[in-house]
Amino acid sequence: MKTTRTESAADVANELLSLAAELRASDLHLEPRDGETAVRVRVDGRLRQARVLPRELGERVTARLKALAGMDLTDRRTPQDGRFSRGRTNVRVSALPTLRGETLTVRLLDGGERPRGAESLGFFGTALELYDRMLRAESGLVLIAGPSGSGKSTTLYEMLSTLSGESCSIVTLEDPVEYAMNGVSQVPVNGLAGVRFADGMRAVLRQDPDIVAVGEIRDAESARAVHRAAITGRPVFATVHARNAETLPDRMNDLAVSPGMLAESLRGLVVQRLVRRTCTACGGNGCDNCDGSGYRGRIGAFGCALFADGESAFPARLREADEMLADNCRALAAQGVTTEEEADRARRSV
Ligand SMILES: [Zn+2]
Contacts by residues 182-187 (CB-CB < 8 Å, ≥ 24 positions apart):
184/160, 185/209
* Rounded distance from Cα 135 to ligand 1 centre (Å): 36
Complete DSSP assignment for 35-46: TEEEEEEEETTE
Burial of 200 (0-12, 13-18, 19+ CB in 10 A): buried
* Rounded distance from Cα 93 to ligand 1 centre (Å): 31
* Rounded distance from Cα 177 to ligand 1 centre (Å): 33
* Rounded distance from Cα 330 to ligand 1 centre (Å): 22
What is the Cα–Cα distance from 268 to 285, expressed in whole angstroms?
40
* Rounded distance from Cα 292 to ligand 1 centre (Å): 6
Q: Which of 218, 112, 115 is nearest to 157 (CA)?
A: 115
* Rounded distance from Cα 46 to ligand 1 centre (Å): 16
* Rounded distance from Cα 34 to ligand 1 centre (Å): 35
pLDDT of residue 113: 55
* Rounded distance from Cα 273 to ligand 1 centre (Å): 22
Per the rule left: phi > 0, alpha: psi between -120 and 50, beta: everything else, 336 is left
DSSP state of 148: T
Tens-level pLDDT at each residue, the chain (350 residues): 555 556 899 999 999 999 999 998 999 999 999 999 999 999 998 999 999 999 999 999 999 999 999 999 999 888 999 999 998 888 999 999 998 899 999 999 876 556 679 999 999 999 999 999 999 989 999 999 999 999 999 999 999 999 986 678 999 999 878 888 888 999 888 755 566 888 889 989 998 899 999 999 999 999 999 999 999 989 999 999 999 999 999 999 999 999 999 999 999 999 999 999 999 999 999 999 998 999 999 999 999 999 987 677 789 999 999 999 999 999 999 999 999 999 999 999 99
* Rounded distance from Cα 277 to ligand 1 centre (Å): 10
* Rounded distance from Cα 107 to ligand 1 centre (Å): 25
* Rounded distance from Cα 280 to ligand 1 centre (Å): 7
Q: What's this model's pTM, rounded to 2 decimal places?
A: 0.85
* Rounded distance from Cα 278 to ligand 1 centre (Å): 8
Residue 23 near residue 43 (C-beta atoms within 8 A): yes
* Rounded distance from Cα 335 to ligand 1 centre (Å): 18
CB within 8 Å of 303: residues ≥ 6 apart: 127, 245, 270, 271, 272, 320, 321, 322, 323, 324, 325, 326, 328, 350
What is the Cα–Cα distance from 169 to 186, expressed in whole angstroms?
11
Strand partners, 110: 89
* Rounded distance from Cα 295 to ligand 1 centre (Å): 6
* Rounded distance from Cα 324 to ligand 1 centre (Å): 29
* Rounded distance from Cα 37 to ligand 1 centre (Å): 29
* Rounded distance from Cα 23 to ligand 1 centre (Å): 13
Starting at the earlier edge strand, list the strands of the sheet with 101-110. 46-54, 36-43, 27-33, 101-110, 89-98, 80-86
Residue 317 near residue 325 (C-beta atoms within 8 A): no
pLDDT of residue 2: 52
Mind listing the domains of the chain with CATH numbers? 9-110 (3.30.450.90), 118-348 (3.40.50.300)
DSSP state of 273: E
* Rounded distance from Cα 155 to ligand 1 centre (Å): 27
* Rounded distance from Cα 344 to ligand 1 centre (Å): 21
pLDDT of residue 142: 98
Burial of 284 (0-12, 13-18, 19+ CB in 10 A): buried
* Rounded distance from Cα 24 to ligand 1 centre (Å): 14
DSSP state of 247: T
* Rounded distance from Cα 307 to ligand 1 centre (Å): 42
* Rounded distance from Cα 146 to ligand 1 centre (Å): 28
* Rounded distance from Cα 348 to ligand 1 centre (Å): 26
* Rounded distance from Cα 241 to ligand 1 centre (Å): 32
Complete DSSP assignment for 186-236: EEEGGGSTT--HHHHHHHHHHT--SEEEEEEE-SHHHHHHHHHHHTTTSEE
